[in-house]
Amino acid sequence: MSRALMRAGWVGIVTLTLLVAAVLRICQLNAFPAALSNDGAINVIDTFHIALTGNFLIYEEDEGRAEPLYRLVLAAAARLWGADV
């Protein structure tokens, strides 16, 4: 068996595994949401504040907080697709 064929087989197995895992996770997302930690809760609160008011602070203006890029992306998604994102 050639190396290219073996590599293609492994890539196929990994891809299939990831697809099956994604489908199983997405199908049960409403029944079993991901765990929510303190950091996750802060992200959710800040995300909906940004999405609803359009007002956000850059990390230089609000010391001690993380940079807002992740929260801005989530807020944009929440505005586009609703609060269930």
Cβ atoms < 10 Å from Cβ of 50 = 20
SS (H, E, C) 13-60: HHHHHHHHHHHHHHHCCCCCCCCCCHHHHHHHHHHHHHHHHCCCCCCC
pLDDT in tens, 2-56: 888 788 889 999 999 999 999 988 887 777 666 666 777 777 788 888 888 877 7
Same domain, 53 and 77: yes
pLDDT at 19: 96
Same domain, 65 and 75: yes
Q: How far apart are CA 57 and CA 13, in angstroms?
A: 45
> How many independent structural domains does the chain possess?
2
Same domain, 45 and 81: yes
Residues 6 or more apart in contact with residue 11 via CB below 8 angstroms: none
Higher pLDDT, 48 or 66: 48
- In this prediction the pTM is 0.45
Give me the domain span that covers residue 10: 1-33
pLDDT at 27: 85
Same domain, 1 and 13: yes
Same domain, 9 and 50: no
Same domain, 22 and 2: yes
Same domain, 48 and 69: yes
Same domain, 48 and 83: yes
